[in-house]
Structure 1
Amino acid sequence: MNFGYSEACLAHDTGKRHPENPDRLRAIRQALTRKHGVEYVESPPATEAEVTAVHDGGYVTEFREFCEDGGGNWDPDTVAVAATWDAALESAGLAEWAAKAALSGEDGRSTPFALGRPPGHHAVEDDAMGFCFFNNAAVAARSVIDEGEAERVAILDWDVHHGNGTQDIFYGDDDVFYVSIHEDGLYPGTGEIDESGEGDGEGTTLNVPLPAGSGDPEYRSAFDDLVAPSLLDFDPDLVLVSAGFDAHRHDPISRMRVSTEGYGMLTARVRELADEAGAALGFVLEGGYGLDTLSDGVAMVHEVFDGMEPVVPDEEASEEVRELIAEIRDAHPAFESDADA
């Protein structure tokens, strides 16, 4: 794979005790040194105009001035220093690079993966939260649509937390399909199944809030029975994966049970789905707070594109998850034709 990376993202120093710290990128880089076929790419930072395409201009100005004043605690969880402004623009720029590289035809062993931080999917239109300042995947999606490089973008968010910011930004839009598989009830408490979009965007948000303890079989079923058919029906030009690795069974801040091999399975599934849809495919880093599990997860994504075939679990999903899937299929607008059949 080709990995977008910038040293500027290390300068966003949240402190050693903060779970979202520069060691996350260092651990990923270290794990990838043991893999062949890894290429690193630098890209231009996003511009203020590009981030204000999805964020309120007043918020963007306030954030820049906050960093110019030395930063501090934006909220109890979200920390900035003077260098965070540049790091956030670099992180958004790396996501734009991933989207544009994918659309330009980079696939297979050249599939792009943006290794930026701070992460993005909790950043709403007019505020930072959950370690996030700019919504990187949203900036990338809106950029390629506005520039005419794509008409429709699907964002698949497999981070263990619901991407409330991505949902918020595109909730009324019909050209971005947002689907999130996340742990039910975890921060930030959004992502219920009845949150499906509004106005022109009705039906273009799909939430799959899995119960705590869900693992590889549950994620496989959610992907096969909900994600794949709804994305194929949307017919995107580009699929962006908001790739968090904090649903791993050993991540310190979640209760999910996905294995490293399970992330390989999800990677293979989304690659097959993009191929079937005739869509470009790129990845954007989100969460993951156990350094070993995060770095192993990213390395697993790379290995799948380098030819590894991950093991698919034989077990069925739990009865609770099978019932949840049936409930979503009955209620969500994306599956209305199935209900009528």
Structure 2
Amino acid sequence: MRFGYREICLEHDTGARHPESPDRLRAIRQSLSECDHIEYVAADSAIEAEVTTVHDADYITEVREFCEDGGGNWDADTVAVEETWDAVLASAGLAQWAAKAALESAGGHETPFALGRPPGHHAVEDDAMGFCFINNVAVAAQHVIEQEMADRVAILDWDVHHGNGTQDMFYDREDVFYVSIHEEGLYPGTGGIGETGEGDAELTTLNAPFPAGCGDAEYMAALEEVIGPSLEAFDPDLLLISAGFDAHEHDPISRMVVTTDGYGLMTDFLWELTDELDAGLGFVLEGGYGLETLSDGIKMVHEVFEGHDPPTREWTINDNGRSVIENLKEQGFPSIDPDQN
């Protein structure tokens, strides 16, 4: 794979005990050093005019001035230092690079993965929250649409937390399909099944809020039965993965049980789907706070594109997970019967 990476992202210093630390990127780099066919790309930073295509201009000015004044606690969870401003623009630029590279590349070994921080999917139009200042994946999706590189973009967010910011930005847009698989009731408390878009954009937002304890079986069933058919019907030019790895069974801040192989299975499924749709596929880093599980998850994604076949097994989908999937079908999303899959 091709990994977008900038050293300035290490300078976003959140403090010794903050879970979203520079050690996340260091752990990823260390793990990938054991792999073949790794290429790092130091993509250009985004500029303010590109960021304000999805964010309020006054808010972006406020973030820049906040950082220039030395930063501090924006809220209880979201921390900045002076260098954070350069890091957020670099992270947004890495996401833009991933979107463009996905549309331009042949996939496989060239599949792009933006390793930026701070993450972005909680950042709303006019506020920072949940460790996020700029919504990187939203900036990237909007950028390729405005550059007329893509007419329709899908974003699949498998971070354990709902990407409220991304959803809000595109909730009334017909040209962006937002999908989130997340833990029900976890921060920020949004992402209910009934949140499906508004107006002409109805059914271009799909939320699968699984209860704690769900994992590979429920995630793959959702992909195969509802999310895959819905993405196929939407027919995007580009699929961006908001790739958080905090639904892992050993992540310290969630109660989901996705395995490392599970991330490989999801990657393999989405790669095959985008190949069938002749769509680009790119990844943008979000959360993941166990250093080993985060780095193992990203390594697994890479290995899938190197030909690794994650093992499959006979799963039993728990009743609560099955209820979520059936509820999604009742919303009117395209779907298939599992017995016909």
Report the counterpart of residue 103 of structure 1 in structure 2: 103
Whole-angstrom distance in 2 between the partners of 1:275 and 1:145: 20
One-letter amino acid of the structure 1 residue matched with residue 245 of structure 2: F
1:2 aligns with 2:2: yes
Q: Is the 8 A contact 2:123 2:130 kept in 1?
A: yes
Whole-angstrom distance in 2 between the partners of 1:337 and 1:258: 23
Report the counterpart of residue 135 of structure 2 in structure 1: 135
3-state SS of 1:228 partner: helix
Report the counterpart of residue 330 of structure 1 in structure 2: 330
Whole-angstrom distance in 1 between the partners of 2:289 and 2:328: 30
Q: TM-score, normalised on structure 1?
A: 0.97
1:23 aligns with 2:31: no
Whole-angstrom distance in 2 between the partners of 1:174 and 1:331: 17
Q: Is the 8 A contact 2:94 2:115 kept in 1?
A: yes
Report the counterpart of residue 245 of structure 2 in structure 1: 245
CA displacement at 1:336 relative to structure 2 = 9.1
CA displacement at 1:307 relative to structure 2 = 0.7
Gaps in structure 2 of 5+ consecutive residues:
none
Report the counterpart of residue 235 of structure 1 in structure 2: 235
CA displacement at 1:195 relative to structure 2 = 0.4
CA displacement at 1:337 relative to structure 2 = 11
1:316 aligns with 2:288: no
3-state SS of 1:335 partner: coil
3-state SS of 2:334 partner: helix
CA deviation map 1:106-140 (0-9, x unaligned): 41111000000000000001100000000000000
Whole-angstrom distance in 2 between the partners of 1:336 and 1:262: 21
Whole-angstrom distance in 2 between the partners of 1:133 and 1:285: 14
Gaps in structure 1 of 5+ consecutive residues:
none
CA displacement at 1:315 relative to structure 2 = 1.1
Report the counterpart of residue 65 of structure 1 in structure 2: 65
Q: Is the 8 A contact 1:155 1:241 kept in 2?
A: yes
One-letter amino acid of the structure 1 residue matched with residue 240 of structure 2: L
Whole-angstrom distance in 1 between the partners of 2:324 and 2:99: 32
CA displacement at 1:311 relative to structure 2 = 1.1
Whole-angstrom distance in 2 between the partners of 1:266 and 1:207: 17
CA deviation map 1:9-31 (0-9, x unaligned): 00000012000000000000000
Whole-angstrom distance in 1 between the partners of 2:106 and 2:113: 11
1:53 aligns with 2:53: yes
Report the counterpart of residue 197 of structure 2 in structure 1: 197
3-state SS of 1:44 partner: coil
One-letter amino acid of the structure 1 residue matched with residue 57 of structure 2: G
User: Which structure 2 residues correspond to residues 1-341 of structure 1 after superposition, within 5 A?
Assistant: 1-332=1-332, 334-335=333-334
Q: Is the 8 A contact 1:106 1:112 kept in 2?
A: no
Q: Is the 8 A contact 1:161 1:183 kept in 2?
A: yes
CA deviation map 1:288-320 (0-9, x unaligned): 000000000000000000110001231121122
Task: List structure 1 segments (4+ residues) > 3 angstroms apart after TM superposition.
Answer: 335-338
CA deviation map 1:21-47 (0-9, x unaligned): 000000000000001111100111001
- Number of residue-to-residue matches in the alignment: 337
CA displacement at 1:105 relative to structure 2 = 2.1
